[in-house]
Structure 1
Amino acid sequence: MDILKAIWEFFATYILRQAPYMIGFLTLLGYALMGKKWYDILGGTLKAIIGMLILNVGSSGLSNTFRPILAGLRERFNLTACVIDPYYGQNAVTAGVEEVFGKGFSQAMTLLLIAFIVNILLVRLNKITKCRTLFTTGHVQVQQAATAYWLIMFALPGLLGYSTDVPMLIVMSVVLGAYWAVGSNLTVKPMQELSDGAGFAIAHQQMFGIRLGYWAADKFFGTNSGKRKKEIKKVGEMEMPGFFSIFNENMVCTAILMTIFFGTIMAVIGKDFFVASGATTEADNFVMYCLTTSLNFAVYLAILQLGVRTFVTELTASFQGIADKLLPSSIPGVDCAVCYGFGDANAVTFGFLAGLVGQLIAIVVLIVTGSPTIIICGFVPVFFDNATIGLVANEKGGLKACLVIPFISGLIQVFGSAFIAGWVGLADYGGYLGMFDWATVWPAFTVVMKYLGYVGVALVVIVLLAIPQIEYRLDKKGYYLITEDYEAYKEYKGIVTEENL
């Protein structure tokens, strides 16, 4: 028994919660179920792990490079506030959960494991539940389990009165597991269309945001958004005259835009802050420091895209073994950064900048109106939410959608987070998760559960599980075809791509 417990603890700690090794484990399992030779399994598994590690280098590089700039803005304007960032949010839960609720943080990790089992069961029964996606991003699951742990205890304090934590963990796991299964399932159609059937969904913090952005882009900016059919201009299809033609190159466009935008912000913050923080020295040329920091955005974005290209083929190919033998008609839900290897690369930058402008305007509004909770934008929500939503919006609605929808997303992230973080008390501990779904969907869940109690829990779960059922009934033929045979799906839908021309 002790041996089994040790094996489970090792798996939970070093595989389930570590995205590269979780991806590697799924690749290994998938290829093994397909009957591949041992050296093919080894090669594919290593490639998947290394690709995910490369993606993490790019992702963490982006965060580590630009987080000090946002901190500088906070200090420059003397703002004491709640930072919206998954890591600040997790730290806030860790710091306050015992003081506020008398519970330890370890139960949040137990919640993660049980919720993941709920996700697996919902996918295994997908012919009934219509849930087709397995949530594989362990680091995101840790962050979400922590925040859900706090929100549900706040909404349902009666759960704290039991002599055991079992009722509390069951309620939490059903809600969170259903959210993982349904949320990632919502991204299947946008991601399959964006990637031309690469075979993945998104399992991150903005899953409802992706589907909402996809719908809004098509509804208000797409080819059928007006009275007459119209042609949309995507970011990558813009023809730039003369000098502006250099913006057609993703790396050049990103470098120039980030240098102008963040170079200006760094100049406003001033050299003294960056010297004091240890980011540079008094002897260094500040102009060159600003230039190098801004150009690093293009560098880390290129690294991130390399990581995507390295592992996504192995994961999706091997996952066919899991789909055939264990989880039929399913595909993996992966990090949102995976989709940056598809579509118009410049849409990532435009979506990010539009979302940042929206967040900054919303923060000014909070300050001017005397809001009791002031929000400071963290890099992870402002980039990964809005870049992802912008990429999807561009695919359906072109440049206008790529700018307008992430801008609105930025406003929502700040206003929604200010409401929920202030209400539940996380603002007092300096952080909140703050990404799109957690500034919209989860505040709504919390309100419903707070005022309707266990009836509210049932209502939340029923609404979640009804979503894939509605999707299925709207397109019974295409619902599973889109994951099982995308070429047949395109023919069924009359989708024309460059390869078909």
Structure 2
Amino acid sequence: MQVVNFIVNQILREPALFLGIIAALGLIIQRKNFSDIISGTFKTVIGVVILTQGTNILISSITPLSDAFNALYKIPADKALHPMGADDFLSAYGSQIGLAMLLAFLINILVARFTPLKNVFLTGHMLFWFPFVFTAVAVESGLNGAGIIVFATIFSALYFVIAPALIRPFVRKVTGGDTFTLGHPTIGLSLVSGLLGKAFGNKNKSTEDIKFPKQIEFLREITITSSLVMFVVYLVVGLLIGTNQVDSIFGTEKSLFTFSLLQGVLFGAGLTILLQGVRMMLAEIIPAFKGISDKLIPNAVPALDAPIIFPFAPNAVIIGFLMSMVTSIATLFIVGQTGLFPYAIVPLTITCFFEIGTAAVIGNGTGGLRGAIIGSGAAGILMIFFVGLSIPFLQHTVSDWIIVFGGNDLSFWSIISGLIGKIF
């Protein structure tokens, strides 16, 4: 029992170590040499640690903005969100998350092996974040022990199997082939964009027919654009709440301009660190996972991270990002003024770029430029409602995390699983 307790409490509750073990197993199964196994294992562990630290920086960079929106919309302190926090939640439920992730992935492999749904979900960090969210929903629903693991496993497996299969025909329209599908929380928003593009678009005029001036090519760098967007948002919100309240709400003696600029840069730095961790982890864990799946499932199609589709329509990515920022921020302020949600929602820069940038590529594939614009504009509006409606299902656990990274399938499936969780 001492050995079991050590494994559960000291290893499985540490996501970095657990993912490192999975990577090691994949490399061992492939009969890699000792040096490759050690290298792949340690790089996976380090990548997850970097990803986690980047996440913490992003959350800390946006927390003052959350307080400012509470003040702007006059949300009383007792109604503001006071979650457990993503970091503490990981420490407390890391083993359940890890086990759900492993079991869901194994179910995905079995389904791909024995059914026509031959999609293997290989986006390493999303293999982790979906069980993370479903575990939080299970805790919020009052489940405990094995019930948490079963709940998170079932919903994670459903997502890993169903979502990539739904988006696969739309990916085929974009790429002209069938070598991969998407394994990313953009899928729901991308389906909406693709269907709207098909209904209202015009395939004869593509986003790629547009020639963007060199002066705005910096918009292709998400770390720069996100820093600038957060800087502007902090500045505008600070002016709206009044300069006399800025010091007390933001907790700083710096000028509004300086504080806003530094918070924007901090956001960009956190995103840069997070992306570095994602790249490092993906570079090691995907070959390990793929080695397992290749041996068990011939002819399987990998479900991969969203940026893999960006090169097929890079202009669409920029259009989707800009269009969704406009529609989402407009929606955010309208929702805030009407008091529809009893808590503050902040701009979702990351979702606008990755999820809705991808949705614009899908919209362009079905309806050209018009499809990309309509699809990403609608996705920007939906995103705000998704995150707002999902917060009650994560309110006491990881609502701080979903406010930064939600508005996508992570939010949408939180709502679905949360409603079902209430039954239990």
Paired position in structure 2 for 1:387:
353
Structure-2 residue corresponding to 1:133: 121
Matches within 5 A, 1:296-315: 296-315=266-285
**In structure 2, what is the Cα distance between the partners aligned to 1:259 and 1:168?**
39
Q: Does 1:50 align with 2:46?
A: yes
One of 159, 173, 195 as aligned partner of 1:179: 159
Q: CA shift at 1:288, angstroms?
A: 3.0
Tell me, what secondary structure is at the counterpart of 1:132? strand
Q: Distance in 2 between matches of 1:37 and 1:168?
A: 37
- Equivalent residue of 2:42, what SS? helix
Cα displacement string for residues 326-353 of structure 1 (whole angstroms, at most 9, x for unaligned residues) = 56666777777x7698677787676556
For 2:132, which of 133, 137, 142 is the aligned residue? Answer: 142
Alignment-mate amino acid for residue 409 of structure 2 = D
* Unmatched runs of 5 consecutive residues or more in structure 2: none
Q: Secondary structure at the match of 2:207?
A: coil
After TM superposition, the score normalised by the length of structure 1 is 0.62
1:27 maps to 23
Which amino acid is 1:377 matched to? I
2:364 maps to 1:376: no
In the other structure, the counterpart of 1:3 is 3
2:183 matched residue in structure 1: 202
Say yes or no: does 1:232 pair with 2:206: yes
Compared CA separation, residues 367 and 267, structure 1 to 2 (3 A) = closer
User: What is the CA–CA distance in structure 2 between the aligned matches of 1:207 and 1:133, rounded to whole Å?
Assistant: 14
Q: 1:246 aligns with which of 215, 236, 255?
A: 215
Q: Indicate the SS of the match to 1:141.
A: helix
Residues 421-463 of structure 1: per-residue CA shift (max 9 Å, x gap)? 67x7x7799959563336545545666787xx79xxxxxxxxx
The alignment yields a C-alpha RMSD, in angstroms, of 4.8
> What's the counterpart of residue 462 of structure 1?
none
Q: Does 1:73 align with 2:69?
A: yes
Give me the identity figure in percent. 18
Tell me the CA shift for residue 247 of structure 1.
0.7
Deviation at 1:11, TM superposition (A): 3.7
Q: Which amino acid aligns with 1:397?
A: G
The match for 2:248 is: 276
The amino acid of 2:344's aligned partner reads: I
Contact 2:26 2:288 in 1 (8 A): yes
What's the CA shift string for 1:221-248, capped at 9, x where partnerless? 7xxx43xx413115xx74345xxx3211
Q: What SS is found at the alignment partner of 2:206?
A: coil
**Whole-Å Cα distance in 2 between the matches of residues 33 and 427 of structure 1?**
41
The CA distance in 1 between the partners of 2:226 and 2:138, in whole Å, is 35
Residue 43 of structure 1: CA displacement?
Answer: 2.3
For 2:38, the aligned partner's letter is: L
Shift in alpha-carbon separation, 1:448–1:309, aligned structure 2, 3 A: closer
* Aligned-partner residue type, residue 233 of structure 1: T
Structure 1 residues 49-448: aligned runs within 5 Å = 49-80=45-76, 110=96, 113=99, 116-129=102-115, 130=117, 131-133=119-121, 136-137=124-125, 138-151=128-141, 173-183=153-163, 186=166, 201-202=182-183, 206=185, 208-213=187-192, 215-216=194-195, 218-220=197-199, 225-226=201-202, 229-234=203-208, 238-241=210-213, 245-249=214-218, 250-251=220-221, 259-271=231-243, 273-276=245-248, 280-281=252-253, 284-325=254-295, 351=320, 354-366=323-335, 371=340, 373-378=341-346, 382-398=348-364, 404-416=374-386, 431=399, 433=402, 435-437=407-409, 439-444=411-416
Verify the 8 A CA contact 1:25 1:45 in the aligned structure 2: yes
Offset at 1:49? 3.4
Q: 1:299 to 1:169 in 2, by over 3 A?
A: closer
TM (normalized to structure 2)?
A: 0.71
Q: Contact 1:393–1:401 at 8 Å: present in 2 too?
A: no
Q: For this pair of structures, how many residues does the alignment match?
A: 404
CA 1:232–1:58 in structure 2 vs 1: closer, same or farther (change >3 Å)? farther
Shift of 1:360: 4.4
**How far off its partner does 1:183 sit?**
3.3
For 1:374, the aligned partner's letter is: P
Deviation at 1:13, TM superposition (A): 0.6
Does the aligned pair in 1 maintain the 2:26–2:292 contact within 8 Å? yes
Q: CA deviation at 1:74?
A: 1.9
Aligned to 1:490: none
Distance 1:317 1:297 in 2: 30
* Cα deviation digits, residues 353-375 of structure 1 (max 9, x gap): 6445444444554456564x434
Return closer, same or farther for 1:310/1:367 CA change in 2, 3 Å cut-off.
closer
| Contact 1:119–1:181 (Cα < 8 Å) also in 2 | no
The answer to whether 1:38 aligns with 2:34 is yes
Q: Take 1:437 and 1:197, find their aligned partners in 2: how far apart are those partners? A: 23
Q: How far apart are residue 395 of structure 1 and its match?
A: 2.2
AA matched with 2:109: V
SS of 2:344's equivalent in the other structure is strand
